[in-house]
Structures are given as structure tokens and as C-alpha cells.
């Protein structure tokens, strides 16, 4: 009888002791975050931000408010990254290659003519390679929540149609503030001029630069057609974008809040990519309708561009890190062989 009572007592006491040892489920607390980006409202980048903010409010029961600051109102991309590191701004989304200034391995995603499609890029960035890059960020004061897309970049200018490699020679082309795009256009014979995106329209309008290169959605959204006459569908580079949160902010979140941010970023990612590709497909037709003269490169001319940038790939491959570049191309081979 005593043994039975002892077993019953232990049966009640042990589980209670275990419950005491386990941490209570963390709760979602109230937070207000500033989410900054360079593009204007109506651009797929900002549409993704709006979706993220909407989902965070819904999933947190209104406790987490994400305030959006598009259009570069809080500064250009490089400036915003510094603000994140300092905890002054909580979140941003920008071209992943810009982070090469913080983590050299991110330069790999800026290599020209890398991806054949957005879907191919998704597999690489969502897979082992993209994850390995994000794992390098926390020591720089940043945390990656996932990859969105800006898309394939095309060339515009205000001097003459570009239908062959030689037409690029001598053009002053604005590029993003990242080493590979700068050298890419210098190696094609242009004079690359790195400038923040927020200064680009004025630079085109005043003739400080002859042209620029961006995805079709940007060309339309920023109304570059007002200050540019010619566009060439070069698709010379694909830009994955990365959603970042300040590590100072991240470290202050509890586990439940962190999981919410990650799941929301993934859901917004899928939505943003879909919107981006739909907009890109429509944007080219809309650009033509503005009166801009749009040229397509022949396969032979595209190959000339590819050949012209091969030395660049070798040079930056060594700087980025041979192991990083080898891992990227290995993942691409695996994907293409599936």
C-alpha cells in the first residue's frame, strides 16, 4: 500500500518539478521599428515592405508596428547600413552585393551573367550558399532575415542606342557603390560613376552621367524615361536583395519574437518575388509606351559582353575568396543538373 502511494506521489511531484524547470513561453511584446529602403512607393521592393509590415501587425496582434521609410528619406543604402549597425534604424532591404563592403564574400552575388533566371537565383540564395553568407553578418552588427529580389539589370543612356559592345565605350554610367559593378562597366569601355540611388535622377537630369543600369521596374518607378532616351535589354547582372535587421535590435528580441520575424520575412519574400516578376514583365512594355527607344542585344553581342568580363570574374573571384566562388558555381551546377 505504501509503495503504491509513493508511486502516485512521485507521479505527481516529478512532472511538476519538470514544469518548474522549463521556461515559460515567451510573449510577443510591443515594438516599433523603422524599415528603410531606397526605392519609391509602388516599386516591388516597397510592396514587399508593405506586406511585411501588414503581416507583422496581424501576427503580433497589433503589438509590433513596422513604420516604412521608402524613397531614401533616411539616407542611401550605405548610410542606412551604418545606421542599422548603430541601432538608429532597425531594418532595411537593399542589394545584397552592397554588403561586400562589410563582408567580402557578398561580392559573389554581383558577378555578371551569373544566373539564367530568377527561379535559379532563388534556389541558390535560399539554399546552402545564401545561408552561409548570412551567417557571416552578425559579427558586423547585422542579421539577415532572407532574400528578396530586385531582378535583372538593363542599361539606359541619353546619347545613342547601344546595340553592340563598342557602343558602350566612353559612356559615363552610374553604378551602385560596390566594386564589381564599377569594374564591370569600366571593363566594357564605359566610365563608371558610383552614386547613391537617391542622387541618380538628378545626375541623369543634369548630365553628370550619361546613363545608368537598373531593372526595368526601377527605370519605370523612378521615371528615368523622363531623362533617358535609350534602353538596352542587357540582363548583365541579377540583384538578390537582402532584408536586414540591426543586431542590436535582434539581440533584444525573445525567441518567440525572433521566430515571428523570420517566418514573416519568408512569407513576405514569396509574395515580393511574385510581384517583382509580374511587374518586371509588364514594365518593359510600359517603358516602350513612354517613347523610350528599346534595343535587344543579339546572342553574338551578348557573348561579346560575357567574354569582355571574364577577366573581371577571375580577378574578383580571387578577392572574394576562391572557396566562396567555387561553392557558388558548384551549387549552380547542381541546380542546372537536376
The rounded Cα 27 to chain-centroid distance in angstroms is 30
- State the residue for C-alpha cell 543634369: 206
Query: Is residue 55 pLDDT above 50, yes or no?
Result: yes
Query: pLDDT tens-digit profile of 73-83?
Result: 999 999 999 99
Query: Which single residue is written with the C-alpha cell 515592405?
Result: 49
Q: Is residue 23's pLDDT more than 70? A: no
- The DSSP line for 124-183 is HHHSHHHHHHHTTSGGGTEEEEEEEEEEEEEEEESSS---SGGGGTT-EEEE-SSHHHHH
For the cut 70, the answer to whether the pLDDT of residue 62 exceeds it is: yes
In the chain, what are the domain boundaries?
32-337
> Which CATH fold would you assign to the domain 32-337?
D-Maltodextrin-Binding Protein; domain 2 (3.40.190)
Q: What is the arithmetic mean of pLDDT over 319-329?
A: 94
Whether the pLDDT of residue 276 is over 80: the answer is yes
pLDDT at position 178 is: 83
pLDDT in tens, 106-143: 999 999 999 999 999 999 999 999 999 999 999 999 99
Amino acid at each position: 500500500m505504501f509503495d503504491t502511494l509513493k508511486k502516485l506521489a512521485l507521479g505527481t511531484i516529478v512532472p511538476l518539478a519538470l514544469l518548474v524547470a522549463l521556461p515559460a513561453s515567451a510573449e510577443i511584446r510591443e515594438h516599433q521599428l523603422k524599415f528603410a529602403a531606397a526605392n519609391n512607393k509602388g516599386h516591388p521592393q516597397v510592396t514587399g515592405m508593405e506586406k511585411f509590415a501588414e503581416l507583422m501587425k496581424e501576427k503580433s496582434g497589433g503589438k509590433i508596428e513596422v513604420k516604412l521609410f521608402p524613397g531614401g528619406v533616411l539616407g542611401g543604402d550605405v548610410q542606412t547600413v551604418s545606421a542599422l549597425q548603430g541601432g538608429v534604424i532597425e531594418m532595411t532591404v537593399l542589394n545584397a552585393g552592397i554588403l561586400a563592403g562589410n563582408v567580402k564574400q557578398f561580392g559573389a552575388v554581383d558577378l555578371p551573367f551569373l544566373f539564367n533566371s530568377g527561379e535559379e537565383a532563388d534556389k541558390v540564395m535560399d539554399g546552402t550558399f545564401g545561408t552561409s553568407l548570412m551567417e557571416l553578418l552578425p559579427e558586423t552588427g547585422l542579421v539577415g532575415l532572407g532574400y528578396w529580389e530586385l531582378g535583372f539589370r538593363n542599361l539606359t543612356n541619353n546619347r545613342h542606342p547601344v546595340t553592340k559592345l563598342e557602343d558602350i565605350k566612353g559612356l559615363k554610367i552610374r553604378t551602385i557603390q560596390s566594386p564589381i559593378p564599377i569594374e564591370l562597366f569600366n571593363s566594357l569601355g564605359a566610365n563608371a560613376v558610383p552614386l547613391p540611388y537617391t542622387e541618380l535622377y538628378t545626375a541623369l537630369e543634369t548630365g553628370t552621367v550619361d546613363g545608368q543600369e537598373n531593372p526595368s521596374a526601377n527605370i519605370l518607378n523612378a521615371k528615368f524615361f523622363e531623362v533617358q532616351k535609350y534602353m538596352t535589354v542587357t540582363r548583365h547582372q541579377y540583384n538578390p536583395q537582402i532584408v536586414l535587421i540591426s543586431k542590436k535590435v535582434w539581440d533584444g528580441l525573445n525567441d518567440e519574437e525572433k521566430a515571428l520575424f523570420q517566418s514573416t520575412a519568408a512569407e513576405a519574400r514569396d509574395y515580393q518575388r511574385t510581384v517583382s516578376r509580374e511587374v518586371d514583365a509588364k514594365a518593359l512594355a510600359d517603358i516602350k509606351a513612354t517613347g523610350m527607344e528599346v534595343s535587344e542585344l543579339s546572342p553574338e553581342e551578348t557573348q561579346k559582353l560575357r567574354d569582355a568580363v571574364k577577366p573581371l570574374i577571375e580577378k574578383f573571384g580571387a578577392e572574394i575568396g576562391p572557396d566562396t566562388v567555387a561553392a557558388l558555381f558548384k551549387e549552380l551546377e547542381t541546380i542546372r543538373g537536376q
